[in-house]
Structure 1
Amino acid sequence: MVGVPRSKGCRTCLERRVKCDENFPTCKRCDKRGLQCPGYNRPRKFYHFIGPSGEQLTTSGLPQYIIDDSVSLRLNRTACVTQQKEAFGLFVDTTFPGLYYAWSSRVDVNFIEFVRQQDDSSFGALMLGARILGTLHLGRLYKDEDKIASCRSMYSRGLQCLAELIRNPQTVKSDHTLGAAVLLAIYEILDGTGQNSWLTHSRGITALFRHRGARAHSHGVGHMLLIAFRSFIVADALIRNEPCFLAEPEWRSIIKVSVRQEGLLGKGSKLGDLIEYSFHDITIIPGLVVRTRSLSNKLTHDNPVRRQKLMRELMQSRERLTDLHSQLVTLSSHDIRLEDRPGVYGPIPVHVANLLAHFSLHGINLATALLDRLILSIDSGQLQLTGSKSALCIEPSKEYQDTAISSASDMIPMLAGGSMGQINESPDHFALSMGMMILDGGSKDQLP
């Protein structure tokens, strides 16, 4: 750095520390003393300087980190973040192909686009979540244990960042916060510290959804985040033996709104609509389980009005799901020519549509079977219920007519842990089943 004296006097007067009369071309003080006045040119000298980034000047006067190095560091950082975003895209493409491609062209912003839109300088909770999942995917792909182990360290940092976002009233309702929570929960599902450790995240995500409100998830990023995690929310409610908040009217209305909007925007399809309506009915099943267990723990003839009302709801729900199942079977029939399917599949790719239909049908089958068991637990296998003829004509399947349910704890076998393999080994299939694969009891469902 160049230092310049503040006084305008000659150098001799400055050194003597006396006031210079600044006479031109030489000062009178120097003339009186018989000295040659050096004039008024300002001398310059260099001082040692430490910049704001901490780089020191070398003896040659150049900084240790010159501007090219600074630009290089920024370029390296940008390239690193870009690679992390692409690795996350590979993770989604490999781990959730059905869920992603079934909805990617139907939502306003898909998850990969959402991550790519983040600022390259951002290393917050959302980008850490994307980085963790991308690194986990690459570690498993190349069998690199060091990469897999590094995810746990990044996960701890991600949790700290997420906690800060949740504590801040200005960020607790943001898409960034909810997106980060979803990504960290998915990591916990795939490589968790315990068999059901993901439930802790799920409970927190449920609280975030409810705190943001249903309207925040009817469109945009909020709608995409709801679709990404809603199957796990249903499974969480079944495991905890609690009603699912997605069954509340304001949340169920989102499904009807989204179906209507997709139709208006030309993104709708018969297959997509049927699956949305199926999920619409599946959300109420956890609540039906809770109510059935509550009644099953009481005397057989206790409060018959409540029992009849519950029985009617169970049978109506089963009837709706049976009808939706039949329509899905018809749509996925191989007798329909591919050229006749644009209105059936819409923007959903054909190979993904087949996967989506298969596991959605599997989820409906599991939900219907559970409803059969709930009906039998109330009525001991005999449907003595007043109501419409169509409801009375629905009979439980033969498999469950031969099964006596003596206690509420036997209704959902292996629910608290036996089906965990279905989640972390095939999370995409689990999501496409609308969370109903939690009822599989650990069995593997294979594609035909």
Structure 2
Amino acid sequence: MDEQFAPSLAYEAISIQTRESFEGWLRYYFPSVSACVDSRVQVTWMGFFRSGWSTFPPALVWAVRALTALLMGASQDNRQAILCARHMYSRGVRHLASLIQTESALTDETLAAAILLGGYEVLDGSSDRSWIIHARGICQLMRARGPSAHERGMGRTLLMCWRPYIVADAFIHGVPCFLGDSEWTCKSMTTEIARAEDEQGLGSLIGQTADYAFNEVAKCPGYLATTKQILMANSPALALTRKSLLGNLLKSKQNLVELDLMLSATKPPAGFVGVIPSRHATTLVHGSRGCIDSAIALLDRLLAALPTDSRDFANSQSLGSIIQSITMHNDQVWQFPTKKSRLEIPPSQRAGSFRYSQDANPRKYAIGDRLDRFSLTMGMGSLLPNSCGIPQLSADDAISGHFTKSSST
């Protein structure tokens, strides 16, 4: 009856319901990360949605619909809702493919749509690694937008939410992470940014310390890739590169050790917690310290692998054994407290190319806070064999494949 007599009112009611339902999606899949990020940014996801929903491009609207429908299917054991979510997702991707060919390609709305559709692929990908296709596109969009576009406003919120998956993508592909470049780290966290946050009432020493740690973590995929290059080349001619890498590894390790000391208090004082909700502060500290411990373990093993001079190449440790020891170490590090509550779209993902299995079991998506736990690892969790219970985010098999030749060499 509403649709017959007041169609615009009915549409608006559904739009509001969809928009507000996204908050439930955030709380289910990212309870701690969303709370910590929301408390420290100028524009939250829900603030972004409530202020501009009526002007959003269809790609973003369909992305939100797909994610909320997916959660409905998971929470209500509703297979039909899962199938609807897949249809909504495919529509979102088609609109995104058109959107990035327009002048709006580099807007916050376009990047938000790409990130949410990428998040959908992590949860309900048509293949184990289909989320990587979106991750590549998101990286292209971010780099095209430039570091300054992510320094404040919704741009900063988008970066803080997706950055662990950028690191994971770099580990999986065995390449440096662009967020480890100096032009990006200076936009992530510096003393100037920390001071500005404090002046705006958004300060938190815990959050700022975690951001400083991320600056070092973002360099780790590059350290790993350069170490591979040096060991596989097995050439004294790379002495300058080796010397520079050794210096950078030692500097990053020192920074991480100092940051870990800052986070070592079992119950951080209120002045250290700042604006972050106290019930999530301990979780953030635990996750950040685990991330730092994992990064230090990686740096230690890379330092052990690199020859100290040109005569030691024959005695250097193979990367295959290094990676194995890192993943074994990480499996012990990432023990989270048990919670009571549970610039181009590639051709393979364009309209009409989606191929899902017939499995639409809602229980598959009722994964609780696994994505939350992975995000707290800042991407280092991708070195775990099961990546906090999200196997498609694991770089373990990809890294093993990258370094098979290195091991045999």
Q: Which of 318, 331, 352 is 1:407 aligned to?
A: 318
Tell me the secondary structure at the aligned position of residue 107 of structure 1. Answer: coil
RMSD: 2.6
Q: Which amino acid aligns with 1:427?
A: L
2:139 matched to which residue of 1?
A: 206
Q: Which of 299, 305, 309 is 2:244 aligned to?
A: 309
1:16-415 mapped onto 2 (5 Å cutoff): 72-120=6-54, 124-168=58-102, 170-255=103-188, 256=190, 257-299=192-234, 301-330=236-265, 333-334=266-267, 341-379=269-307, 406-413=317-324
Question: What is the Cα deviation at residue 317 of structure 1?
Answer: 1.0
Question: How far, CA to CA, are the matches of 1:359 and 1:159 in structure 2?
Answer: 33
List gaps (5 residues or longer) in structure 2. Answer: 337-364, 390-409
Tell me the secondary structure at the aligned position of residue 329 of structure 1. Answer: coil
Question: What is the Cα deviation at residue 154 of structure 1?
Answer: 0.8
Question: How far, CA to CA, are the matches of 1:119 and 1:302 in structure 2?
Answer: 57
List gaps (5 residues or longer) in structure 1. Answer: 1-64, 386-403
1:209–1:123 CA distance, 2 compared to 1 (3 A): closer
Tell me the secondary structure at the aligned position of residue 196 of structure 1. Answer: coil
Question: How far, CA to CA, are the matches of 1:213 and 1:122 in structure 2?
Answer: 22
Q: Relative contact order (C-alpha < 8 Å, sep 6+): which is higher?
A: 2
Question: What is the Cα deviation at residue 412 of structure 1?
Answer: 3.3
1:123–1:262 CA distance, 2 compared to 1 (3 A): closer
Q: Which amino acid aligns with 1:220?
A: G
Question: How far, CA to CA, are the matches of 2:253 and 2:158 in structure 1?
Answer: 28
| TM-score, scaled to structure 1 | 0.72
Question: How far, CA to CA, are the matches of 1:342 and 1:323 in structure 2?
Answer: 21
Question: What is the Cα deviation at residue 69 of structure 1?
Answer: 6.8
Question: What is the Cα deviation at residue 118 of structure 1?
Answer: 3.0
Question: What is the Cα deviation at residue 299 of structure 1?
Answer: 2.6
Tell me the secondary structure at the aligned position of residue 176 of structure 2. Answer: coil
Question: How far, CA to CA, are the matches of 2:101 and 2:55 in structure 1?
Answer: 22
Q: Which amino acid aligns with 1:145?
A: R
Q: Which amino acid aligns with 2:106?
A: K
**Equivalent pairs: percent with the same residue?**
34
Q: Which amino acid aligns with 2:75?
A: L
Question: What is the Cα deviation at residue 204 of structure 1?
Answer: 0.2
Question: How far, CA to CA, are the matches of 1:181 and 1:69 in structure 2?
Answer: 31
The answer as to whether partners of 2:73 and 2:80 remain within 8 angstroms in 1 is yes
Q: Deviations over 1:33-69 (max 9, x none)?
A: xxxxxxxxxxxxxxxxxxxxxxxxxxxxxxxx9xx97
Q: Which amino acid aligns with 1:355?
A: T
Question: How far, CA to CA, are the matches of 2:81 and 2:160 in structure 1?
Answer: 29
2:380 matched to which residue of 1?
A: 436
1:316–1:119 CA distance, 2 compared to 1 (3 A): closer
The answer as to whether partners of 1:78 and 1:120 remain within 8 angstroms in 2 is no
Q: Which has the higher helix share?
A: 2
Tell me the secondary structure at the aligned position of residue 233 of structure 2. Answer: coil
Q: Deviations over 1:159-215 (max 9, x none)?
A: 0100111011x1101111100000000000111111111111010000000111111
Question: How far, CA to CA, are the matches of 1:122 and 1:210 in structure 2?
Answer: 22
Question: What is the Cα deviation at residue 71 of structure 1?
Answer: 5.6
Tell me the secondary structure at the aligned position of residue 52 of structure 2. Answer: coil
Q: Deviations over 1:326-348 (max 9, x none)?
A: 21112xx13x5xxxx33111110
Tell me the secondary structure at the aligned position of residue 297 of structure 1. Answer: helix
Larger CA Rg, structure 1 vs 2: 1
Question: How far, CA to CA, are the matches of 1:182 and 1:299 in structure 2?
Answer: 40
1:69–1:263 CA distance, 2 compared to 1 (3 A): closer
